Structure 1
Amino acid sequence: MAPLRKSIVVTALFAAVVLSLHGAVQGRKASPLVLPQDEDTSGEAFGSARSYLRESPLGEDGTTALDRYLKMPDPEYKWVDTGVRIKGVVSSVKHWTGYMLKLTSQRWLTDADSSCSLWEHDLVVIIPDDVNPTDKLTNFATAQFYISGDNGPPGKVSPTDEDIAMAANLAVGTKSIGVSLLQIPNQPCTFPADPKKQSRGEDAFIAFTWRRFLDLKKAGDPQAELWPARLPMVKAAVRAMDATQEFIYQCDECGTKGKYPQGFTVFGASKRGWTTWLTGAVDTRVKGIAPIAMDALNFKKTFHLWYQALGGWSFAISDYYAEQIMDEIDTPEMDALMAIVDPIVYKDRLKDTPKLVVSGTNDEFFMPYDNHVWWDDMPGVKHSLIAVNADHRDASWCPMTLPSMIAWAYGIMQHSDVASNPELDWQLSYTGDGANQVANLTVTLSLGSAAALKPTKVNVVYSYSDPDSARLDWRWYSVDKTCPGPTINYHGVNVCVHPYPWIEKPLTPVSTSDAEIVYNYSMPAPSTNPFGAFFVQFFFPGVTEGIVEYPLVVNTQVVTVPNTLPFPDCQGTQCSGTLV
């Protein structure tokens, strides 16, 4: 079942919108607009403005296939102001205006390769009434950029679309410009090379491009590197930042003419969360990233972790299973694909970019313990925010998620090491074995800075896995169990529902000093369930705007006990497995 989600936040924060038309259509269609550069920005000509693309010597020529694709000239790029305006209000008092643009971001491959070679998007630029364009050091310096999906051609965005609501709330909560980019990827799409001849969207779209890459790579075709859908998805995000800067710089009615934001904090969920990771890796304008419902980096190790945890593959990745991707996870061709699209490849580029990694305890795609595969390898400032009792879709709209993202983004804008960067450190140890094992977690909150904030609340959040399954599994849905009740249709799949609730209870410190606060929690291996799990959750003061408070919530990694994986690993074609 999909519990109540976006209505909670939208009703409380996103109160009303109206649609209107203004003036003539305008935009940039051909000649480049070179934006003036502040002293702290640089770059060579790239498309419409100056190049903000990062460089990193990862390949023999200093680039990855993603870098090479982004640098390819693309004369199709343009944007047009449609003249459509959206008026909205957040929390009954905070008004904003949305300017609807039509963006053509690129041509990906050719018409002979797909029905979606020309990528077009709705791009909505949201300007709250209280944005101050002269405040270039804080609020106007950084825009809030939400990458989203949606199907079909541009021009069908509803004024109450949840993606517009997300961007509007981020903008109003931080008193900055908001941006919502839709049609990522451009879908639905058909491919002449597809033996199934199906209209593809979302994971079915991406899975086919993976399959195409693997097949072409095996055949030695140099065109293989152009096929992963992540390439045009990231390029569309880069082009959206170009278009946003150009539009704001030119806009008379916005009150911003001659000025534009120099940076962006990027947000996106699921496939757009993956795009968020890579956009931060390739573009220097990105000042922070908040990938939502996508915390599975270092994919080869993650695939093997999933297999050992579940004894197969979650039904949620059935599109990849249908393309026999799981048979390829140990092949050189899969290594080559991951060298392009796996965010962990770009970890050194991300070391100076703050990261808020948002996930859900009951995600059917990703497991709550996935980040153990990569967390220690990812340099720089990073925090985890786990939405409690949330599946894959709910992670974006859990009541704690949006306020925390606002507080975190505001801290980045204000150059605050406190609001966006609580100093948490944790140490995990185990005593005993098997049924007698105990997991011990010690968490230290540093108070070294004079401005450091103490938490307003600290919880331990815990749960136990299904007593009728041997799996290390907290998904709410599965496909291979005998259900005590009727199945439900979940995204076209009949699934059995078995919610495993996560319970929050207060946690008091074991020691407190002027320098630090220390917490400890221990969980023994459960006697009636295969596994137990817990994490420690911190609430910090964030941002207060009028009657609305935006606390920052961050947490430790999820700890599981006993510290074992219930199924043997697979190798090569043995990894085909089954859906569970």
Structure 2
Amino acid sequence: MLSIGKVVLPLVLLGSAAFLSAKEAPVVPADLANYVARAEPGFKWTVEDTKEFGGVKAWRLKLTSQVWQGITWTHDLLVVKPTGVPTGKMLLLNEGGSASNEKALYAALLAGKIQAPVALLLGVPNQPLFDGKREDHLIAETFVRYLDSGDASWPLLFPMVKSVVKAMDTLQEFSKKEWDEPVTKFIVGGGSKRGWTTWLTAANDPRVMAITPMVIDVLNMREQITHQQSSLGGTSQEISPYTDRGLVPVPDTPRAQSLWTMIDPWTYRDRFTMPKLIVLGNNDPYWSTDALNLYWDALPGEKYISYSPNAGHDLTERDAAGKKLSAERAINNVSAFVRYQLSGKPLPKVGWKHTTQADGSLGLTVTADPAPQRARLWVARSTTKDFRKARWESQAIEQKEGEPVTASLPKPDKGFIAYYADLGYQIDDLPQWLCTQLRVVGAETK
């Protein structure tokens, strides 16, 4: 299980000529930082339940993170710790919903894989609110209220980020009481809008030592929507909560620009110096297949890509008949990344270059240190640039000792082709696939 939920694309922010150029230095507004730093007299937490099973101890905490727009936000916070593991660093995932046996078992599964404590912060965001609105409809509502009022605390991402910050406060207090070694650093993750929350939390809290945002392939939002319209023939149907509210296009106003700068992680990109594993599904209906290419090069520091072929927004792979298989690839890739961060072992250094040869054939050269145990080339074909329903197939890449990993394939004689490579590694008992960027090439591409 990977609890991803619905994603949100803030199209309310698009269509303004006043946006910053992608090449300009980002101007970082103080609104989010000010909201996170605002005192919360009602902040509190209690231990509601404790259980032990299968070499794991689990706690269920009840957290009150803040009062936002007169509404008290409360959360279940599940904490699991395998016996005998170090406790100075931990994985913190933010999700929707409330505590359940299924979520506790999922946290225990991850804790066993990474051999460290895991916490699941639930109820991000608190919902339903404002006449029963949830998820995308709720975020769209808060965007409209900001545009109408100018109150910078309205965008729902602000209380979502603060709930993660308050969860870190809670976990540090809790671990100081319960464990010999209190938690000092966190690897933060989440999917979809919780991945969006992950990016913004990392930009505002130094306790975040690494991040793994999932299925939120939309940094650099202004350029993304232009690219999406070109690739998909329009905006995705998945964003109807925004289009139905008439939020696109947006008047060219300072307030619309302000909203964009506050909530687009692209604005904060210079702060993302911590290690990053970006987890994506190749068939996610929300995004253009090559959306990552619009922000990858601008991200500083250590960064890795984990694509799941034939997987959508839930990261669950599917067979050729469309039957769901599992999200094991994504779960193992995240777990391996976290294991590396906790152990202090360096991840493999991977670099790549896409090329077009004189005869029109397509090439991919990958350098890796250490060399991978195995390598594959993934390829999909489509009559258009929309690959969301395309089938991805792989073939092994023959490796020669001491040489880069290389692959080539012919340019399509019609339609379009998308391709990338992944390299197989192992950290202890955990398999991991590290991917290159993917490239889309059409028959008419020069």
TM-score by length of 1: 0.68
Name the aligned partner's letter for residue 365 of structure 2: T
Residue identity in the other structure for 2:388 = R
TM-score (normalised: structure 2): 0.87
Counterpart for residue 124 of structure 1: 78
1:271 to 193, 196, 199: 193
* Structure number with higher relative contact order (C-alpha < 8 Å, ≥ 6 residues apart): 2
1:160 partnered with 2:108: no
Superposed counterparts of 1:81-120, under 5 Å: 81-82=47-48, 84-89=49-54, 95-110=55-70, 117-120=71-74
Residue in 2 that maps onto 1:410: 339
For residue 157 of structure 1, report the CA deviation from its aligned partner.
2.1
Aligned-pair CA distance for 1:86:
4.1
SS class of match (1:524)? coil
* Residue 540 (structure 1) aligned to one of 425, 435, 438: 425
Retained in 2: the 8 A contact 1:526–1:532? no
- Is contact 1:58-1:64 (8 Å) kept? no
Equivalent-residue separation in structure 1 for 2:275 and 2:379 (angstroms): 27
Confirm or deny that 1:66 pairs with 2:32: yes
Report the aligned-residue RMSD: 2.4
TM-superposition CA deviations, 1:84-126 (whole Å, max 9, x none): 234444xxxxx3121000000001122xxxxxx2110000111
Q: Once the two structures are superposed, what CA deviation does each residue of 1:54-82 show, in whole Å capped at 9, x if it has no partner?
A: xxx976xx852110101111101100111
Say whether the 8 Å CA contact 2:277–2:304 is kept in structure 1: yes
Q: Does the CA contact (< 8 Å) of 1:427 and 1:443 recur in 2?
A: yes
- Paired AA for residue 317 in structure 1: I
Supply the distance in 1 between the matched residues of 2:167 and 2:316 (Cα, whole angstroms): 25
Q: Distance in 2 between matches of 1:86 and 1:304?
A: 50
Which among 394, 397, 409 is matched to residue 504 of structure 1? 394
Q: Which amino acid in 2 is paired with 1:168?
A: A
Count of aligned positions: 416
**Kindly tell me: are residues 564 and 380 of structure 1, through their superposed partners in 2, closer, same or farther at Cα, counting changes over 3 Å?**
farther
Is 1:475 aligned to 2:422, yes or no? no
Query: What SS does the aligned partner of 1:104 have?
Result: strand
What is the identity, as a one-letter code, of the residue corresponding to 2:419? Answer: F
Q: 1:129 to 1:71 in 2, by over 3 A?
A: same
Q: 1:461 aligns with which of 378, 384, 389?
A: 378
| Cα distance in 2, alignment partners of residues 427 and 106 from structure 1 | 47
Aligned partner letter, 1:205: L
| Correspondence 1:346 to 2:311 | no
Taking the aligned partners of 2:443 and 2:145, their CA distance within structure 1 comes to 38
- Which 5+ residue runs of structure 1 have no aligned equivalent? 8-56, 90-94, 111-116, 132-138, 151-155, 191-197, 477-499, 545-549, 566-580
Secondary structure at the aligned position of 2:195 is classed as: helix
Contact 1:408 1:542 in 2 (8 A): no
Report Cα offsets for 1:432-451 as digits up to 9, x if no partner: 8xxx9543322222x3xxxx
Deviation at 1:393, TM superposition (A): 1.2
| 8 Å CA contact 1:441, 1:522 repeated in 2 | no
How far residue 176 of structure 1 moved from its aligned partner, in angstroms, is 1.1
* 2:296 counterpart of 1:370: no
2:351 aligns with one of 417, 421, 425: 425
C-alpha distance in structure 2 between counterparts of 1:147 and 1:207, whole Å: 20
CA contact (8 A) 1:86 1:159 kept: no
Which among 156, 160, 163 is matched to residue 229 of structure 1? 156
Q: CA deviation at 1:299?
A: 0.6
Q: CA deviation at 1:334?
A: 3.3
Q: Return the alpha-carbon distance in structure 2 between the equivalents of residues 178 and 275 of structure 1.
A: 18
Pair 1:393 & 2:314 matched: yes
Question: Taking structure 1 as reference, are residues 272 and 88 closer, same or farther at Cα in structure 2, changes over 3 Å only?
Answer: farther
Note the 1:565-576 alignment, pairs <5 A. none
Change (3 A) 1:406 1:558: same
| Deviation sequence 1:350-378 (CA, Å, 0-9, x none) | 12x00000000110112221111011011
Alignment deviations for residues 294-344 of structure 1 (CA, whole Å, 9 cap, x no partner): 121011110111111112111111112122233128654333112111112
Change (3 A) 1:423 1:563: farther
Question: What amino acid sits opposite 1:542 in the alignment?
Answer: I
1:191-220 per-residue CA deviation (whole Å, 9 max, x = no partner) reads xxxxxxx4111111111112222233xxxx
Cα distance in 2 for residues equivalent to 1:330 and 1:273: 28
Given residue 245 of structure 1, which amino acid in structure 2 is its aligned partner?
Q
Give runs of aligned pairs for residues 37-76 of structure 1, distance below 5 A. Answer: 64-76=30-42
- Once the two structures are superposed, residues 229-261 of structure 1 have per-residue CA deviations (whole angstroms, 9 ceiling, x without a partner) of 11000000000011011112112xxxx15x311
Task: Quote the Cα distance in structure 2 between the aligned partners of 1:296 and 1:316.
Answer: 14
Q: 1:87 to 1:329 in 2, by over 3 A?
A: farther
Contact 1:269 1:292 in 2 (8 A): yes
| CA drift at 1:564 | 7.7
Q: Which amino acid aligns with 1:69?
A: Y
Look up the SS of the partner of 1:318 in the other structure. Answer: helix
Q: Work out whether 1:521 is the aligned partner of 2:408.
A: yes
Instruction: Name the aligned partner's letter for residue 462 of structure 1.
Output: V
Distance in 2, Cα, partners of 1:365 & 1:183: 23
* CA distance, structure 1, for counterparts of residue 143 and residue 268 of structure 2: 19
Decide which structure has the larger Cα Rg and report it.
1
- Confirm or deny: 8 A CA contact 1:425 1:443 kept in the other structure: yes
Specify the SS of the correspondent of 1:554.
Answer: strand
